[in-house]
Structure 1
């Protein structure tokens, strides 16, 4: 009995030390989120300015990161952040174009009939709206997520074998990983809450992942940026957010289907993502607007596999990025929103 009590005390002490040594991510997340609210929020429009100059409202894809940040905050601190999230959701209607055949979000404030929509902008919002729905089961969020995802999927056609365009008028003439990855994730998060559509959404996610793998995945498992439809040229250049969303899409397909190949592929991408780390600092080389998506993917992969490599990679990045933020706060809204988002996610992590 004495040995058992000693063991229990040792375990409790070790656990307490581990918890004590971990940064207070919840406090940090709240600090950054409140800084954004104070520095960038425009009370007249209900959305956020792009920079500290406060002379231009931010584009919708940058607003989408702030909405995702508030969705995470509202899940963890609903009494403080649920109301601001809901008010922001309503204010984003300023970007919503319902005067077209398939409504969607314009990049800037619109009076309708804008026809300048980006499929990736809308994909980020669809994912964030599902997360908002999961905080309180308010059907408005799920309805708008479904409507937004309908626009995203309308960007798919059979040119070059499939894939979703970057822009509705085919600006740049490309189909991009940044549109297809989040489109697949959007299908899978919606499928969890729409049983009558689940089979079709999961199949669409399969199709999107298969096309993106064939068109834009490099031999190391990571993803190039985009493919020019007319010429077939692949625009090289690997960014964290492209591989991150494809990692999450594979994880989502594994969870939806139980097929081991999808988990194996997610792990392959996760291991390959060490390539993105700076050799001196161990921090992702990309700007926050891209690398925070990889941190989120790291946490999802850790949750699924229990492999602490991904947790340590995420934690090291978050700690370094918060230290940078404390030393010099960025002038743009999105960088702070990206950081706050991953801080909230880190605060929820249970170390296995």
Structure 2
């Protein structure tokens, strides 16, 4: 209880600094015809595994006409699809294990702080992207929640250590995009998932370590909100810390992950101010949609994360427009895939991931998993 009180006090004192910078009665299962998305997800997943899996390497290749494993970014998206599939089909649990082990060829231990290189490495590399690694933290924690296997929690903790090593006070704070400071930029695409990773890891770490992770997540949210949030409540891409110039271009995945960071803060504190901010982003995200079709305008490698954010916010608010928007995007991309399946891994993996998340809405197992997962308070 003392630890819980300490964490709540910490979060309440963070609130004003961060922010200085109609509920529906519809039940989950009424949102879609039962089983539709599970069948679609299984179809896309089976196609992807059959056509992209490299049996001798326990990895997925990046393109259907290539035999080389994908970069770790695409591989991470596919891992998220495998994790989600495991909730619905037990056969994917062994694939999840194999894939996790296969990705060891990217894991560089011959450096001061280990991390994932973009490509398979012999070790001692210096081409690591902090954002590639930040995504893996979240997915490994989800794998741990589902399986209870400590390997995933251990690796999530290790990867987050590498990600946080990219934070410094140049430009007032923030995590660099690349370990060699390529482009002189600090980007939303690393800071936002890093914050989510910090908040979510605080659920599983030793109680005495939780305040540190929450504080780290809080300072990341504060810096990113102050530095990269636009006047429309959505988030720009990056700041060049040498020139001070902000790239205000807005991609779905940046705002999606900041929305999730704020829902995490709400789940940790129960403070409505955080949920209100997330709701503002949810409404503003309409700007990302096509006015004719309603689907997200960005490539699915970015936009599948906005679908995930919509569903997470829906679980808290039950606001129908969020579920409708997620469904519209999933339906649009699935129909396009049926006509001509994508030839790259990241598009197939992103589609499979969002379809499995919709399938979670159709099943008691999926709904129960997220009910437990969203509630981060001990």
**What corresponds to 1:289 in structure 2?**
301
**What corresponds to 2:187 in structure 1?**
176
Larger radius of gyration: 1
In 2: Cα distance, 1:67 partner to 1:129 partner: 9
Query: Is residue 330–residue 351 contact of structure 2 (8 Å, CA) maintained in 1?
Result: yes
Query: Is residue 202–residue 256 contact of structure 1 (8 Å, CA) maintained in 2?
Result: no
**What corresponds to 1:130 in structure 2?**
141
**What corresponds to 1:33 in structure 2?**
45
For residues 139 and 278 of structure 1, do their structure 2 counterparts lie closer, same or farther at Cα, with a shift above 3 Å needed?
A: same
Q: Deviations over 1:234-276 (max 9, x none)?
A: 1121100000000000000111122221111100111100000
For residues 280 and 112 of structure 1, do their structure 2 counterparts lie closer, same or farther at Cα, with a shift above 3 Å needed?
A: same
**What corresponds to 2:202 in structure 1?**
191
**What corresponds to 2:10 in structure 1?**
none
Is the partner of 1:294 in helix, strand or coil? helix
TM-score, normalised to structure 2's length? 0.86
Unaligned runs of 5+ in 2: 1-25, 368-378
Structure of greater relative contact order (alpha carbons < 8 Å, 6+ residues apart):
2
Q: Deviations over 1:131-178 (max 9, x none)?
A: 000111100100000000100011100011100000001011100000
Residue range with higher mean Cα deviation, 284-293 or 44-53:
44-53
TM-score, normalised to structure 1's length? 0.93
**What corresponds to 1:3 in structure 2?**
none
**What corresponds to 1:299 in structure 2?**
311
Unaligned runs of 5+ in 1: 1-13
Query: Is residue 97–residue 111 contact of structure 1 (8 Å, CA) maintained in 2?
Result: yes
Equivalence map 1:237-252=2 (5 Å): 237-252=249-264
Query: Is residue 32–residue 362 contact of structure 2 (8 Å, CA) maintained in 1?
Result: no
1:208 to 216, 220, 228: 220
For residues 250 and 112 of structure 1, do their structure 2 counterparts lie closer, same or farther at Cα, with a shift above 3 Å needed?
A: same
In 2: Cα distance, 1:45 partner to 1:146 partner: 25
Cα deviation, residue 23, structure 1: 6.1
1:329 to 337, 341, 344: 341
Is the partner of 1:76 in helix, strand or coil? coil
Cα deviation, residue 20, structure 1: 7.5
Equivalence map 1:70-219=2 (5 Å): 70-77=82-89, 79-194=90-205, 195-219=207-231
Cα deviation, residue 180, structure 1: 0.3
Q: Stretches of 4+ moved more than 2 A in 1? A: 17-23
Residue range with higher mean Cα deviation, 189-198 or 161-170:
189-198
In 1: Cα distance, 2:53 partner to 2:236 partner: 35
**What corresponds to 1:47 in structure 2?**
59
The number of residues matched between the two structures is: 337
Q: How large is the RMSD of aligned CA atoms in angstroms?
A: 1.7
**What corresponds to 1:256 in structure 2?**
268
Query: Is residue 138–residue 156 contact of structure 2 (8 Å, CA) maintained in 1?
Result: yes
Residue range with higher mean Cα deviation, 218-227 or 21-30:
21-30
In 2: Cα distance, 1:347 partner to 1:196 partner: 36
2:328 to 316, 323, 327: 316
In 2: Cα distance, 1:160 partner to 1:19 partner: 45
In 2: Cα distance, 1:291 partner to 1:165 partner: 23
Cα deviation, residue 199, structure 1: 1.2
Cα deviation, residue 22, structure 1: 5.3
Query: Is residue 31–residue 323 contact of structure 2 (8 Å, CA) maintained in 1?
Result: no
